[in-house]
Structure 1
Amino acid sequence: MASVPASAIGQPIPVSSAYIPNNRPARTLVLCFDGTGDQFDADNSNVIQFFTLLKKDDKHEQMVYYQAGIGTYTVPQIATPFMAKISQTLDEMIAWNLDAHVMGGYQFLMENYEAGDKICIFGFSRGAYTARALAACNLQQVPFAYKMFTRTDETGWNQSTAFKKAFSIDVDIEFLGVWDTVCSVGLIPRTLPFTASNTSIKTFRHAVSLDERRAKFKANLFNRPTKEEVELGTHPGDMPKSDTIPALRHKPSTPPTNGSSKPKAKDLHTLEREFSERDKINFETDVLEVWFSGCHCDVGGGSVANDVPHNVARIPLRWMIRQCFLSNTGIRFHSDLLPALGLDPAALWPKVLSRPKALSNADIATIPVVPSTSANVDPSTAKHDRMSTSETLVNYADVQPAGPNTVLTEEQEDLLDIRCEIYDQLTLAPAWWVLEVLPLRHKVQQETDYWASEYYFNLGRGRQVSEKHQQEGVHVHRTVKTRMDATDLKQGKYTPKAIFDHKKIIWED
């Protein structure tokens, strides 16, 4: 079974290892980018929740990197608090420091990447956009080519391609996992190449909001590159490919003075080795985008206080973790922290087990309950007026688990979570309506793969799923059906806001 059997409720889950997976064929570099206004605080996003679960104590097995969201910090060169605050405000509004966000992650890769390392990148909201931009930046490689990389005309493509060939080692992204990427960064759109498509990514997983309807939060779904984009980039055989054989790693008794443990001989071998036939092998990105109930922060997290035991965002968090194991990323998680999310380590490793049938709404009565630990919080103190993903919106679910040490099955956790409140910012923060009544530009990829610009008034409409993205079906998480079937929700009967043909739904676990 994929979850703890009912008889095990209240009992600890036995695990054979402190970390899973417990075999390490290659080192993993994990980079996490938080959403707009998000950082470690009282209402953490799924990025921090995910980061918390990662093994961090052995850099020879796994290295991790976390970057707070756009609008939370400024570049180090700004010294005065006044200018730093202005920079942070501009960053949240128009992504003033987008280049610093992207290149901060890239610097981490530059300083730590060794041959054979697996690169895995995660992000939420505009942090998801940053993550996808960083994955694209690896196609260009060198930091001083960033300005060329940001140019989307033919000159920019040619210049950045030339820099890549001259100074870089071509590396692939093992896994890119994002929660609800938005189409552009900031109120004034700033876009970067390859944030909608990228041929260097092996596996792409995207949790998408069914109910977000703000004009500036259109979903940035994965699109195949146009013929021109493919031709303008580098091609197999144009430049050396990073060795897939892990570098020999030493564990020195004293840390190296430059902060790196790279064996110099291996680096030279990697940089100097000749092209091989495997470098010419093309692969197509394994893409899966699954839609979940809830608005933007209900998918990426940050809508409720950390001490609220259940919320809708926990469902796409569990899904993303499961995808890490299904895709054999090698990312190492703390075994003892997974049960609190409703994940059984034995159901994820060494083999990912199939999930049991989902519970129905009628099964809610069979789950042990106690009064909510947040019952003493005054609802009037909840913050409903902020336009950042970092707001706190306390969720007063009627049903709570039976105590701090209770272990529920994943299916029970799903049922408790999917019945929680959804936080629609157009209702909670009416100031967002200013943008709904303005004719804003939106980019749409046509059937021919080419992009066109459209201007229209959004007026609070749900996300439109293009015919192109409906051709092979719309992947929707099975908990959406559970919420649609519920007749006793606090917010009334649920119908997804996204616009698409429901006959094309493919239900996902």
Structure 2
Amino acid sequence: MVLGLDGTWNTPDQQDRDRQCPSNVVKLLRAIDTRQSDVEQLKYYDAGVGTDGFVDKLWGGIAGRGLFGNMRQAYVWLLENYRIGDQLFLFGFSRGAFAVRSLVAMIDLCGIPKRVDYSYDFMDVASEAARIYREPIKTKQKRMAREFRNRFHAVDATVTMLGVWDTVGAMGLPTQGLLGKLTRSQHQFHNTRLSKNVRHAYQALAMNEMRRPFEPALWRGKCPKDVETVEQVWFPGVHGNIGGGYADAGLSDVALEWMLEKAANHGLTLRPNYLINRVDPNPFAEMRDPIRPLYRSLMIGRPRVRRIGSGAIGEAIDLSAARRWLAVSRPEAPPANFLVDSQRGRNFQRRAGEYAHVEQAITESALEPEIGPEIGQLNSQQHVSNRSRSASNRTNSHSLATRTTSSHF
């Protein structure tokens, strides 16, 4: 089961420079093979906040309105479709990444109900789980979660892979001034620490993003013992260059290719033709100025360079950044201490705070490692449940739960 939550203002048919330019969440879901795989691969998509007209675009963009609803709708889809033993793959970009990480934590706390009486509406059940998740008093929260699990016979669910592009901290909200006061209280409950029900966690981060409200949310602190892999890799580009949505998708396709490779390694079957025709990574592609007129008029705080090498779990810089640094006419200098992820994560150093100091010039020979087999060849093992089930009948203009590839999606 594959679930994707998109970023602010992102939709499958969004335009940039008169071209359809979907985000990496959409492209990853479209790359999943739902027809040729020996096992059933269900997928769900929900567009980002701020996609329902001008008012929603303004308030959703400024205050993150709608994120909480997106989480509940995704939880409902899991209630309708999850079967014990299914593998869960969850992906998100920007605020959608924040929402999907919060959803994972909510699943860890409340589980997924398996016996819901017909007198209950699934959305009401999801709302109750969300209220428990929001409860600030931990002792009360644990009691409420235990009662919820007992009443609905909720089961634990393991997340095989959690993949996110550039999670924004505080849901991408202003943290200072009047807007900060208006939005802080309703969004401060979100817990984005890595949950113990995750097995493999990956995050692609934007090296060159400087907008203050887009402060990245990295996984920090002690890694839960059941988590097998944590990789947080910095890629060249600003926020949209990592998560997609620009006409020139060269940089975002670098981060997409990295995530697709991880997903294939963990059991997803992908469409080779889609990968060949729609994914074209280029570390030397255009780096955009993300400050649009609407955002510029609401600019809060001065630009701030993101801190790299701050001791987060599994932190590294992708090889594409080193290649770009050597090649561009106005190089973006890397930090003094960093680890170049030269094998795209295969031989990743996992200890938190483990970096290699670059004391000499990086030669071109050092930048040509053996990357490994093509993504299309990485599907030798399948782990997703092959149990047949009926597809969810819940659809709306911005959400899609499907068993096959839709012409729209």
Pairwise same-fold verdict (TM > 0.5): yes
Q: Which residue of 2 aligns with 1:180?
A: 166
After superposition, the C-alpha distances for 1:297-331 in whole angstroms (9 at most, x for unaligned) are 00000122xxx5x52111000000011123x2x21
One of 466, 479, 486 as aligned partner of 2:327: 486
One of 39, 55, 61 as aligned partner of 2:40: 61
User: Offset at 1:95?
Assistant: 2.1
User: Offset at 1:157?
Assistant: 2.5
- Structure 1 segment 39-118 matched on structure 2, within 5 A: 39-41=11-13, 42-57=20-35, 61-73=40-52, 86-118=55-87
Q: Which residue of 1 aligns with 2:273?
A: 336
Q: Which residue of 1 aligns with 2:366?
A: none
- What is the CA–CA distance in structure 2 between the aligned matches of 1:473 and 1:289, rounded to whole Å? 6
Is 1:424 the counterpart of 2:295? The answer is no
- What is the CA–CA distance in structure 1 between the aligned matches of 2:303 and 2:73, rounded to whole Å? 35
One of 477, 502, 509 as aligned partner of 2:318: 477
Is 1:219 the counterpart of 2:216? The answer is yes
User: Offset at 1:433?
Assistant: 7.8
Is 1:315 the counterpart of 2:247? The answer is no
User: Offset at 1:165?
Assistant: 3.9
Identity of aligned residues (%): 24
User: Offset at 1:155?
Assistant: 4.8
- Structure 1 segment 391-402 matched on structure 2, within 5 A: none
- Give 5+ residue unaligned stretches, structure 1: 1-28, 74-83, 231-281, 343-412, 438-458
After superposition, the C-alpha distances for 1:9-55 in whole angstroms (9 at most, x for unaligned) are xxxxxxxxxxxxxxxxxxxx000111100001222111111111112
**What residue identity is the alignment partner of 1:297?**
G
SS at match of 2:332: coil
After superposition, the C-alpha distances for 1:190-231 in whole angstroms (9 at most, x for unaligned) are 2444323211111101001111111111111112469xxx9x
- Structure 1 segment 236-315 matched on structure 2, within 5 A: 283-304=226-247, 308=248, 311-315=250-254
- Structure 1 segment 383-422 matched on structure 2, within 5 A: 414=281, 417-422=282-287
Cα distance change of structure 1 residues 164 and 287 upon mapping to structure 2, 3 Å threshold: farther
User: Offset at 1:94?
Assistant: 1.4
SS at match of 1:418: coil
- What is the CA–CA distance in structure 1 between the aligned matches of 2:32 and 2:336, rounded to whole Å? 38
Cα distance change of structure 1 residues 163 and 214 upon mapping to structure 2, 3 Å threshold: farther
Q: CA RMSD in A?
A: 2.7
After superposition, the C-alpha distances for 1:226-272 in whole angstroms (9 at most, x for unaligned) are 9xxx9xxxxxxxxxxxxxxxxxxxxxxxxxxxxxxxxxxxxxxxxxx
TM-score (normalised: structure 1): 0.56
User: Offset at 1:89?
Assistant: 3.5
- What is the CA–CA distance in structure 2 between the aligned matches of 1:111 and 1:127, rounded to whole Å? 21
Q: Which residue of 2 aligns with 1:205?
A: 202
User: Offset at 1:502?
Assistant: 2.6
**What residue identity is the alignment partner of 2:268?**
I
**Larger radius of gyration between Structure 1 and Structure 2:** 1
SS at match of 2:196: coil
SS at match of 2:251: coil
- Give 5+ residue unaligned stretches, structure 2: 14-19, 112-124, 175-182, 345-409
After superposition, the C-alpha distances for 1:54-84 in whole angstroms (9 at most, x for unaligned) are 12348961111011011114xxxxxxxxxx7
Question: How many residues matched?
Answer: 309
- What is the CA–CA distance in structure 1 between the aligned matches of 2:197 and 2:161, rounded to whole Å? 10
- What is the CA–CA distance in structure 1 between the aligned matches of 2:60 and 2:298, rounded to whole Å? 20
Cα distance change of structure 1 residues 434 and 220 upon mapping to structure 2, 3 Å threshold: same
Is the 8 Å Cα contact of residues 145 and 160 (structure 1) preserved in structure 2?
no
**What residue identity is the alignment partner of 2:31?**
L
